[in-house]
Amino acid sequence: MVAIRKQKIRHLLQGIIDIYSPSGKEEEVLDFVYRYLTKEHIPAIKQEVDESRYNIVVVPPDVDPQLVLVGHLDTVTAYDLDHYGFVRKGNTVSGLGSADMKGGCAAMIEAYIAAWSEMGRKTPAALALVVGEEETGDGAEAFVKDYHFPWAVIGEPTELNPCLSHYGYLEFQISSRGKRRHASLADKELNPVDALLRFLLDLSTYFEERYPDLIYNIRDLFSSRAGFAVPERCDVWIDLHHPPDAPTGEITWDLEEFIDRFQQGQSHLDLTMRFHTIQTGYEIPEKGSLITSLKNAYKEEELPWKPGSFRSHSDANSLWESGLKPVILGPGSLDQAHTADESIAFDQICKAAELYYTLIKKV
């Protein structure tokens, strides 16, 4: 049995956290990881995503892999460009992307190197490190156009609990339009900001009553810059995460009807809605050879089997729509993701690497 190299994981993790790689600007971290894999004699492929960015893909040539390990190397924008890098205090590693999901990527890379050193070209799994997950998901979209595997394990932060189901996701924009006029002549009935705020209060109450399990987030709200005047426009972007079994189509239809009802009898209101993303959730039953292999890997690593549901948006939605069956499983906690003081337990990253390695052997 090949041992997981914890010191190598630490050096790799420090290297990729110290490289600033927000979505769309991943070139430097991609080059770093590609060189790292080639030095370890892993036949990595650069799959073009755009003129300067690519996914890193490894597909063993002598087998037909039933599983692909998937991670994303991009992060959200740094809260502080002077303090985003790698810091380790005892067992805690902090830094931008440490939990979401450079910790998971480091674990997957080390597990894959360990499996390759033992099985080589017959390693029964592939590896994909993609870009753009935190923004557009363009890396995952490019990946599924060229590659297909029956199963995927995605290293998003789940505290090493397997997520066999995934929330659906709706992203939409609502715009309110009014008429620009002097601020001293403001009329709340004609002010697009006031109209949109009143609408959002009613919408929040509606969701609480009709869809209490839905996660509702007002992400961005701003108006056109008007100076000392009533603005002519106000826009809001909203995220909705809904349970896997919720009727996505019905929710979108209800939203459109709600706007229509809100505007009835108010001819001065001009509200419009546009959906930017509509992705359904999914549930995978505890059946099939991969799930059996995964359960056996948990047993061997002496980890409790506690399947759950991933509550966030991720590349799994795109992979599911393309025909892959994704299991979300990684080190770190989702409540650390996208925070100013993001951190992760180092020993959990190492345990994730051991779990991934054991799973590859059992596929």
Per-residue buried b or exposed e for 335-356, using 16+ beta carbons within 10 Å of the residue's own CB = ebbbeeebbbbbebbbbbbbbb
43 plus 112 within the same structural domain: yes
298 plus 268 within the same structural domain: no
183 plus 196 within the same structural domain: yes
| 32 vs 19: CA distance, rounded Å | 9
pLDDT beyond 90 at 175:
yes
Q: How many domains does the chain have?
A: 2
Token code pair at residue 109 = 């890379």
Reported as a single tens digit per residue, the pLDDT across 24-36 is 999 999 999 999 9
pLDDT (0 to 100) of residue 218: 94
Q: What residues make up the domain containing 221?
A: 169-279
108 plus 48 within the same structural domain: yes
| 315 vs 129: CA distance, rounded Å | 11
Query: Which range (127-141, 183-197, 200-214, 218-232) has the least confidence?
Result: 183-197
pLDDT beyond 70 at 346:
yes
74 plus 141 within the same structural domain: yes
Last residue of a domain, one of 231, 259, 279: 279
CATH code for the domain of 200 = 3.30.70.360
Last residue of a domain, one of 237, 261, 279: 279
pLDDT beyond 90 at 269:
no
252 plus 318 within the same structural domain: no
33 plus 149 within the same structural domain: yes
347 plus 274 within the same structural domain: no
State pTM to two decimals: 0.92
Mean pLDDT over 334-362 rounds to 96
CATH code for the domain of 78 = 3.40.630.10
Last residue of a domain, one of 247, 264, 279: 279
CB atoms within 10 A of CB 131: 31
| 311 vs 321: CA distance, rounded Å | 17
